[in-house]
Each structure stands twice: as structure tokens, then as C-alpha cells.
Amino acid sequence: MSGCYPLTSTDRNFQGRSYECMSDCSDMSNYLSRCHSCRVESGCFMVYDRPNFMGNQYFMRRGEYADYMSMMGMRDCIRSCRMIPMHRGQFRMRIYERENFGGQMYELMDDCDNIMDRYRMSDCMSCHVMDGHWLMYEQPHYRGRMMYLRPGEYRSFRDMGMGGMRFMSMRRIMDM
């Protein structure tokens, strides 16, 4: 089969019932009661531990994830997933120290492994993604919980349900 999709299974090691998802799926429970393994045939996906693209987010690229729960530290099974379109061209994102695009502003065109070291910026609370798709991480060096950002304005991470998280590193999602 061609295209971008994860093949998901109810049990670890691809056992039990399976479901092929070829686009965004806001509620996997319509197809599977639980999902504990995943195979991404091509492309990249964000998977979420709650329906409607909510909760903790995990990035998956082409590969097999026979027991991603223990591998990624995921506490629950996949409840929804979003396909990430591959972007070709320039990447641009403006990050802001405060909500509603307030405080210091810096424009990124490449990965930043530590905003404190690079910009002396202790917090990032809003951003505007102009080009490309990005992952933001709560810790330096692309560690900890993450959030997927596609082009658009993000005025308040707190209002998006990310209250209490401080984003300290950012990475472009590129075709690898």
C-alpha cells in the first residue's frame, strides 16, 4: 500500500485486531477499544493519549513501535492521531516570551536546542508559525513532553491546555 498511514493494533507486538488510518483520526475508539502497538509505513504522525488530539503528544516517523508505551513512557494507549504533511521549503517561526505575542521576540529558521542559551529567554508562552511544521519540547535538547505546531498563531499555550509546561527547545519536522 502507498500513502502515509500508521497501522495500529490492539495489543503489543502487533497482535489482535488492527486498523489502518490514512488521515487524521480524532477518536480511535470508533475502530479499536485500545491500541498498544503501531507501525508507520511512511510519513510522520503525532499520536495522542486522549481523543480529539488532546493530552500528551508523541511523534512517530516511519518504523515499527511494537510496544511504544514502555519505549516512549506513554501511560495510556493511542486515542487519536494526526498526519503531519511534509513541508518542503523554508521554515520560520517567531517565539515570544509572553502570551499574546508579548515580551521578547525571536525568529527561528532552524532548530534551537536551548532557548535559554541561545536567546537568554527563560520562557516561551506564545508563537507564530509562518512556514513549516515544528515540535516544541519542554526541556532543552529536545527532551520531555512535546507539542506539534503547524502554521498558525498560538497566542497562549496555557489556553491550549499546556499550562505549567515551559517550552525550552524547538525542532523542525523535516523529511528524514
The residue extents of the domains of the chain are 6-84, 92-172
- Secondary structure tally for the chain: helices H, strands E: 2, 12
CA distance 62 to 5: 9
Q: What angle do CA 26, 23, 15 make, to 5 degrees?
A: 80
Whole-model pTM: value is: 0.83
Pick from 26-40, 88-102, 117-131: least confident: 26-40
151 pLDDT above the threshold of 90: yes
Query: Which of the four pLDDT bands, split at 50, 70 and 90, describes residue 72?
Result: low
Q: Which CATH superfamily is domain 6-84 in?
A: Crystallins (2.60.20.10)
Among 103, 80, 84, smallest CA distance to 156 is for 103
- Fold match flag (6-84 vs 92-172): yes
* pLDDT on residue 4: 44
> Closest by alpha carbon to 13, among 32, 36, 31?
36
How many whole angstroms separate alpha carbon 17 and alpha carbon 54?
24
The mean pLDDT value of the chain amounts to: 84
**Of 115-119, 133-137, 158-162, the least confident:** 158-162
pLDDT number for residue 150? 95
CATH of domain 92-172: 2.60.20.10
Question: Residue 122 is placed in which grid cell?
Answer: 527563560
pLDDT of residue 128: 98
81-86: average pLDDT:
90
Q: What are phi and psi of 119, to 5 degrees?
A: -115, -5
CA distances from residue 118 to 24, 33, 90 in whole angstroms, order as listed: 35, 45, 21
- Where does the pLDDT of residue 142 fall: very low under 50, low under 70, confident under 90, or very high at 90 and above? very high
For the record, the C-alpha cell of 171 comes out as 525542532
Q: What was the pLDDT predicted at 84?
A: 92
- Average pLDDT (154-166) is 82
> Could you tell me which residue, 27 or 8, shows the higher pLDDT?
27
Confidence of residue 8 (pLDDT cuts 50, 70, 90): low
Question: What's the rounded Cα separation, in Å, for the pair 159 and 32?
Answer: 30
